[in-house]
Amino acid sequence: MKHWKRCLELFAAFFRIGLFTFGGGYAMISLIEHDIGERRQWIGPDELAEVFAIAESTPGPIAVNCATYVGYRRAGVRGGVCATLGVVLPSFLIIYAISLFYERFLAMTAVANAFKGVQVAVAFLILRAGLRMVARMPRKGFEIAACAGAGMMVLAVNALGWRLSTVWLILAGGIAGLLLRRAAGGEAGK
């Protein structure tokens, strides 16, 4: 019975995160960090940063991958399934409801204006999550070099107007990390 109680808690927590987050998985990072990491303390800050990195580099949406990991960590396979359903179900229900009267929905001025405001809030949530991750990053040579290199790569791609898939950026980041670690003397386990 205790196991199912945990599953219900996972479902409810991730359902709430999924229900009140607009803009996709990256916008959810800030809410996951606050609700799951800080408020409920189901995952520590260091492990949560690793979860975000792994969830981003594995196939599938980052929020779903995070929910699955946290759910599995708290309550095994059933917990993973419940947390995943919790984070996915709100979006499914909202999109289904919108699809029933899509054209009339988009024609409403209030809805169009609300979406413009939501875009600003989503950008803020993504920026906030990124800044918090950088703030928790270890202040060692490798980490600083990797962060600076990634920042310069993003600026270069944007400044040159290149249209690159996120997949290529993730692969480039992984390769750069391996090369930097090797150049730093192979401190991979430290």
Instruction: State yes or no: pLDDT of 187 exceeds 70.
Output: no
Q: What is the pLDDT of residues 54-71, one digit of tens each?
A: 888 888 888 899 999 999
pTM, whole model, 2 decimals?
Answer: 0.63
CA-nearest of 14, 111, 22 to 66 is 14
> pLDDT tens-digit profile of 4-61?
899 999 999 999 999 987 767 777 888 898 899 999 999 998 898 889 888 888 888 8
Whole-number Å distance between alpha carbons of 190 and 186: 9
Half-sphere exposure of 104 (CA within 13 A, CB side): 5
Task: State the average pLDDT over residues 130-141.
Answer: 77
User: What pLDDT was estimated at residue 23?
Assistant: 67
Evaluate whether 181 touches 188 at the Cβ level (below 8 Å). yes
pLDDT digits (tens, 9 = 90+) for 87-133: 999 989 988 888 887 777 767 888 778 877 877 887 887 788 778 77
